[in-house]
Amino acid sequence: MSSLTVPSVYKKRKSYTWLYFLLPSIAIMLVFFIYPILLTFFYSFTNLALTGEAAKELKFVGIDNYIRMFHDPTVRVSIWNTLIFLIGSAVIGQQVLGFIIALLMKHKNRLFRRVIGTIVLAGWVTPEIVCALCLYSFFGDEGTLNAILSFVGISDVTWLYTVPMLTVILANIWHGTAFSMLVFQAALDDVPTEIEEAAVVDGASRLQILCRITIPYIKDTILTNMMLVTLQTLGVFGLIYAMTGGGPGTSTTTLPIFMYNQAFVNYQLGYGTAISLLLLLLGIVLSLFYIRSMKEQ
Amino acid sequence: MNAKQRKLIYRILPYLILTVIGICFLLPLLWVLVASVDSNALQSLKMPTRFTGANYGDVMTNGENQRAFLIGLVMSLGQAVIVVILGLLAAYPLSRYQMKYKKPFMLTILFMTSLPITAVMVPVYQLFLSLKLYNNIFGVILFYVASSMPYGIWMLKNFMDSVPNDMEEAAWVDGASVFTGIRKVVAPLMIPGICTVAIFTFSGSWGNFFVPYILLQSPENFPASLKLYQFFGQYGMADYGKLAAFSVLYALPSVVLYILSQQFMSKGFGLQGGTKG
């Protein structure tokens, strides 16, 4: 294969030609992507605000924003909410449900696979605001869920008020599971059937085959997928914002919602940035794990 | 329970579980589809009082809605085109030249693909204020381009790696420049890859809510995603039919493009027969 070796013509080119090709995209990424990341670190140490005294003059306030964060009970609540949302909707919800669907679908009737697969995929393809609307009306006071439950004698439950976190978690599961399902379908197809067949001959139960052969075999995929799904879920804003607005109270206020409220509702951009730095650092750590797992594969 | 019964249960149980999961996933979706053609839609799923196309008609003939869809289209299309062009340019040396820092550069790009954009929006807002790009549709396109550039470069570089060198060299022998080589030989051979990148960047920004919500202010600049949110807040309680019709229309491009992308992906890359011997 000629494409595996770099032919001599390429080597002869001047060593800086590549710069012209890369310059436009690097420039635009530097200005609108890397620079804002650096600004995040910078602004989080300032009193940047949209209104009031602080708006007139930008001042360094050292780690004041971080001290404030440390004492702010809402920060603790939103970190906690973010964790619940991440674990509930990403790690357990999308990941486990996606795996179960992929596993159960294996070797099933083709038409049946197609129908179920399409339904699950539809939630993934649908834009997040439409997802929010669909699930909002599903869990609404006069929504579909209550209409169904009234048949079995359970009268109106105000899902969005009594269990708001559960509703946004389920909404995110509805929106995101297809991604994990696709990833696991591809991974499960790669597990050689011979190994599983050999295990059956040796008298292994289904559960044993799953835990001792299938899952260890796709371990890397599970880890990489977990990182990706967690990263995607970390940045979820529109879905929660449109469904509950972070409420009632602060019950569904995750870090992105809290960041938004501080920066754009209370006009405390500096403080809002300090919170987004928390998100960014979490994202950076997870991304580093992600590229490490990709490098190994 | 004897062995035969147990075997039967093991055969039926997966179908049963999957059907239940399928119904759970279907119900919220079914509501939006049915409500959009119901003359008297409610919050819950029900048989339409009377089938009607009026909801769609009302939404589509509304000038503000048309404008929102057009703006969304301009933004997403503009972004997709720029990402593909700049991405192809950047992918070329990364795929063809021997560069000293290629590996760390590509890892940085991969790293950037997975960073949550949400986390940088507050500084981006401040940056846009100082650059006078706030409330500017083209400013939003620029940010969209920057945020999906890593993905575009990463994907296009990998697609380009699978285009053999010999055909491009043949073009050079015939007197083509490097740019002509990319335009007339490499890019046409990467059409499936280019379409995949274009579709995913388009759908990503078409469905995005947070970025325009932060960077745009006046309602006449709102793309479809913001318009829907506005609609939701203002008349959500009153007019489920129209809201559902708007949602379906807004979701349609994402759905159609996804189906299209599957076509490109399943076709794969039949390039092996390109040069013989």
User: In this predicted structure, what is the pLDDT of residue A14?
Assistant: 55
User: In this predicted structure, what is the pLDDT of residue B236?
Assistant: 53
CA–CA separation, A253 vs A1, rounded Å?
55
Selected for mutation to probe chain B from A94, A99, A138, A267 (highest B CB count within 10 Å) is: A138
Contacts of A140 in chain B (CB under 8 A): 43-44
Minimum-distance CB partner of A128 among B42, B125, B209: B209
Please indicate whether, in this complex, the C-beta atoms of B90 and A25 are within 8 angstroms of each other: yes
Residue B30 lies in a domain: no
Residue B224 lies in a domain: yes
Selected for mutation to probe chain B from A126, A128, A166 (highest B CB count within 10 Å) is: A126
Q: Is the pLDDT of residue B163 over 70?
A: yes
User: In this predicted structure, what is the pLDDT of residue A51?
Assistant: 64
A270 touches chain B (CB under 8 A): no
User: In this predicted structure, what is the pLDDT of residue B274?
Assistant: 43
CA–CA separation, B196 vs B88, rounded Å?
13
Lowest-confidence region among A22-31, A44-53, A156-165, A198-207? A44-53
pLDDT, average across residues A121-126: 91
Split at pLDDT 50, 70, 90, the class of B55 is confident
Split at pLDDT 50, 70, 90, the class of A42 is confident
User: In this predicted structure, what is the pLDDT of residue A56?
Assistant: 62
Residues 223-262 of chain A with CB under 8 A from chain B are 227-228, 231-232, 234-238, 241-242, 256, 259
ipTM of the complex: 0.87
> pLDDT tens for residues A156-193?
788 888 899 999 999 999 999 999 999 998 888 888 88
DSSP-assigned letters across all residues of B76-138:
HHHHHHHHHHHHHHHHHHHHHS--TTHHHHHHHHHHHHTS-GGGGHHHHHHHHHHTT-TT-HH
> pLDDT tens for residues A225-236?
888 899 889 989
A158 touches chain B (CB under 8 A): no
pLDDT, average across residues B63-70: 91
Assign residue B213 the CATH number of its domain: 1.10.3720.10
User: In this predicted structure, what is the pLDDT of residue B99?
Assistant: 78
Name the residue range of residue B162's domain. Answer: 56-272
Please indicate whether, in this complex, the C-beta atoms of B127 and A7 are within 8 angstroms of each other: no
CB half-sphere exposure, B33, CA atoms < 13 A: 9
pLDDT, average across residues B229-252: 83
Split at pLDDT 50, 70, 90, the class of B6 is confident
DSSP-assigned letters across all residues of chain A:
-GGGS--HHHHHS-TTHHHHHHHHHHHHHIIIIIHHHHHHHHHTTB---SSSHHHHS--B-TTHHHHHHHH-HHHHHHHHHHHHHIIIIIIIIIIIHHHHHHHHHTT--HHHHHHHHHHHHHHHHS-HHHHHHHHHHHHSTTSHHHHHHHHTT-----HHHHSHHHHHHHHHHHHHHHHHHHHHHHHHHHS-HHHHHHHHHTT--HHHHIIIIIHHHTHHHHHHHHHHHHHHHHT--HHHHHHTTT-STTTT--HHHHHHIIIIIS--HHHHHHHHHHHHHHHHHHHHHHHHHHHH-
Please indicate whether, in this complex, the C-beta atoms of B228 and A133 are within 8 angstroms of each other: yes
Angstrom CA distances, A289 to A224, A227, B233, stand at: 8, 7, 39
Contacts of B124 in chain A (CB under 8 A): 32, 36
Average pLDDT taken over every residue of chain B = 86
Minimum-distance CB partner of B27 among A130, A144, A227: A144
Q: Is the pLDDT of residue B263 over 90?
A: no
Residue B51 DSSP class: B
Selected for mutation to probe chain A from B121, B157, B247 (highest A CB count within 10 Å) is: B121
Contacts of A244 in chain B (CB under 8 A): none
Please indicate whether, in this complex, the C-beta atoms of A238 and B210 are within 8 angstroms of each other: yes
Split at pLDDT 50, 70, 90, the class of A131 is very high
How distant is the Cα of B242 from the closest Cα of chain A, in angstroms? Answer: 12
Question: Chain B residue with minimal CA distance to A109?
Answer: B15
pLDDT, average across residues B185-210: 90
> pLDDT tens for residues A7-24?
445 545 555 777 888 999
Which range of A291-295, B10-14, B155-159 scores highest in mean pLDDT? It is: B155-159
Minimum-distance CB partner of A40 among B120, B225, B229: B120
CA–CA separation, B62 vs B246, rounded Å?
11
Split at pLDDT 50, 70, 90, the class of A197 is confident
Please indicate whether, in this complex, the C-beta atoms of A142 and B43 are within 8 angstroms of each other: yes
Contact A180, A99 (CB under 8 A): yes
Residue B85 lies in a domain: yes
User: In this predicted structure, what is the pLDDT of residue B19?
Assistant: 93
Q: Is the pLDDT of residue B118 over 50?
A: yes
Please indicate whether, in this complex, the C-beta atoms of A36 and B214 are within 8 angstroms of each other: no
Percent of chain B with pLDDT over 90: 39
Residue B131 lies in a domain: yes
Contacts of A24 in chain B (CB under 8 A): 86, 89-90
Average pLDDT taken over every residue of chain A = 85
User: In this predicted structure, what is the pLDDT of residue B269?
Assistant: 40
Residues 55-94 of chain A with CB under 8 A from chain B are none
Query: Which residues partner with A60 through β-bridges?
Result: A46
Which range of A33-47, A273-287, B141-155 scores highest in mean pLDDT? It is: B141-155
User: In this predicted structure, what is the pLDDT of residue B192?
Assistant: 86
Please indicate whether, in this complex, the C-beta atoms of B122 and A273 are within 8 angstroms of each other: yes
Lowest-confidence region among A45-49, A93-97, B70-74, B231-235? B231-235
pLDDT, average across residues A200-224: 86
User: In this predicted structure, what is the pLDDT of residue B62?
Assistant: 87
- For chain B, what is the domain count? 1
How distant is the Cα of A246 from the closest Cα of chain B, in angstroms? Answer: 14
Residue B45 lies in a domain: no
A144 touches chain B (CB under 8 A): yes
User: In this predicted structure, what is the pLDDT of residue A4?
Assistant: 47
User: In this predicted structure, what is the pLDDT of residue B115?
Assistant: 86
Q: Is the pLDDT of residue A1 over 50?
A: no
Contacts of B96 in chain A (CB under 8 A): 6, 10
Percent of chain A with pLDDT over 90: 34
Residue B46 lies in a domain: no
A83-296 CATH pick, 1.10.10.10, 1.10.340.30, 1.10.3720.10, 1.20.120.1810: 1.10.3720.10
What is the enclosing helix (H) or strand (E) of B7?
helix B3-35
A and B: number of Cβ contacts within 8 A: 276
